[in-house]
Amino acid sequence: MDLDELRRRLTQRSAPVFSVYGDDGVGREDAALTAAAVLVPIVVHASGLTVVFTKRTSHLKAHSGQVSFPGGRAEPHDPTPEFTALRETEEEIGLAMDRIEVLARLPDYLTRTGFRVTPVVGLVTPPLELAPDPREVEEVFEVPLAFLLDPRNHRRETRELQGRTVGYYVMDFEGRVIWGATAGMLVNLYRHLL
């Protein structure tokens, strides 16, 4: 998929008929969750489109060592989820807000840990000029968008959690494991672009 097609599909399509709404066992009745937003940063390289991910530092209390999108909790003064995603991205990886073109908002995703996450898709033109916050981010890396949109790379797994079997999506790329909420949001992006 090229940039023009991506832009057309994101800006002209309505939400998918079916989307991954949240972690298994999290339902729509859980409305009083903590608001958060993440950026799905799509980088426009001459060689093709990629998506930027972070690997969280291992000393963090929550989700340590996990692969995620840049983003975080909404602050009371944040006017929109888009602003939250851009602000948090700048704080986490140093990507300036004015370098990102917001294209779309994907369906909210509810997490088992009590967050209602709004994924915001944005375009970034190189050079990236990143400055990751070492307190939060161990690594920043890119994955080709074509790999992430290939349904053959969307694997479902289950595990026991607090006495229940829960399911989640997993995507493996060059030794990096993208799973849980981040993978679920990527599946929603794929479904949105169909």
SS3 108: coil
DSSP at 80: S
Query: Alpha-carbon distance 22 to 107, whole Å?
Result: 10
Domains in the chain, CATH or no CATH each:
3-193 (3.90.79.10)
Contact partners, residue 87, CB within 8 Å, separation at least 6: 75, 78, 97
The residue type found at 14 is S
pLDDT tens profile 36-81: 999 999 999 999 999 999 998 765 555 555 899 999 999 999 999 9
Give per-residue burial for 66-90: e unless 16+ CB within 10 Å, then b: bbbbbbbebeeebeebbbbbbbbbb
- Residue 38 in contact with residue 68, Cβ under 8 Å? yes
What is the pTM for the complete model shown?
0.90
Q: Identify the segments of the chain with pLDDT beneath 50.
A: 28-29
Torsion of CA 90, 99, 80, 2, to 10 degrees: -120
* 107 prior amide bond cis, ω within 30: no
Contact partners, residue 122, CB within 8 Å, separation at least 6: 39, 40, 41, 42, 85, 86, 100, 101, 102, 103
User: What pLDDT shows up at residue 18?
Assistant: 66
Element (H, E) at 123: strand 115-124
Nearest to 5 by CA among 38, 63, 47, 49: 49
User: What pLDDT shows up at residue 194?
Assistant: 81
Task: Give the neighbor-by-neighbor strand order of the sheet with 155-161.
Answer: 155-161, 164-173, 176-179
φ/ψ of 86, rounded to 5, equals -70, -40
